[in-house]
A and B are shown apart, each in its own frame.
Chain A
Amino acid sequence: DAGITQSPRHKVTETGTPVTLRCHQTENHRYMYWYRQDPGHGLRLIHYSYGVKDTDKGEVSDGYSVSRSKTEDFLLTLESATSSQTSVYFCAISESTGTRDTQYFGPGTRLTVL
């Protein structure tokens, strides 16, 4: 399995508080992604990164920000968490830019916003 870890694995927080989720990889892959998964919606892309300090928005980026200061770390921040952001968050990495790219996923973080 690809070396991807996510922390924390579970978190319960209250509405209005800031939350940061961390994705760490040991594969030195260029691309990193954050997805959220909700019942009935499959996985939806939040933000992605194509290099250090290079990020872009995905399908559902409102309310989220990201940062990537090192190749191995990609942080997802909820500046002021809302109950609608209760979800399971997955980080993924990929090596190449080609359409034959394969994404490798982390174990996920279950976030509950009360």
Chain B
Amino acid sequence: LAKTTQPISMDSYEGQEVNITCSHNNIATNDYITWYQQFPSQGPRFIIQGYKTKVTNEVASLFIPADRKSSTLSLPRVSLSDTAVYYCLVGDRNNAGNMLTFGGGTRLMVKP
């Protein structure tokens, strides 16, 4: 199973750029990297997904180096509403399904 390691928590201030790095040393050739966001009392919500280099959408950017053993989620100019838990997942397959393993996530606290 591909495992991920992320910081347990991070603090930031409104307007700053936040970078959350995830390590996934055992990533497989066909695996993609996916990030989810979870607010209290809600289910996780997809943010961004990538395979290599850089991916950008309206919410975030994802940077993946050539060896793919880590990835960095970048949130530009965070606001208080970005306070949430962020999960890094690596696609992991078994014989019949598509199981994604959630780790403990990174709890981001954005302060005014």
- B57: interface (CB < 8 Å): no
Question: Using Cβ atoms and an 8 Å threshold, which residues of chain B touch A98?
Answer: 98
Report Cα–Cα, A97/B45, bound state, in Å: 19
Question: Using Cβ atoms and an 8 Å threshold, which residues of chain A touch B32?
Answer: 99-100
Contact check, A102 vs B102: say whether CB atoms are below 8 A apart. no
What is the minimal beta-carbon distance from B108 to any residue of chain A, in angstroms? 15
Chain A, interface size category, equals 20 to 34
Contact check, A101 vs B42: say whether CB atoms are below 8 A apart. no
Report Cα–Cα, A106/B41, bound state, in Å: 11
Q: Which of B15-23, B58-66, B68-76, B89-97 contacts A (4 or more CB under 8 A)?
A: B89-97
Report Cα–Cα, A31/B96, bound state, in Å: 11
What is the minimal beta-carbon distance from B103 to any residue of chain A, in angstroms? 5
What is the minimal beta-carbon distance from B97 to any residue of chain A, in angstroms? 5
Question: Which A residue sits closest to B28, measured CB to CB?
Answer: A99
Report Cα–Cα, A100/B41, bound state, in Å: 26
B contact residues vs A (CB 8 Å cutoff): 30-32, 34, 41-46, 49, 87, 91, 93-94, 96-105
The 5 A-B residue pairs whose C-beta atoms are closest, nearest first, are A105-B43, A99-B91, A43-B102, A42-B102, A42-B104
Q: Can you spell out 13 A-B residue pairs with CB atoms less than 8 angstroms apart?
A: A31-B97, A45-B102, A50-B97, A56-B96, A92-B43, A98-B98, A99-B31, A100-B91, A101-B98, A102-B34, A103-B44, A108-B41, A108-B42
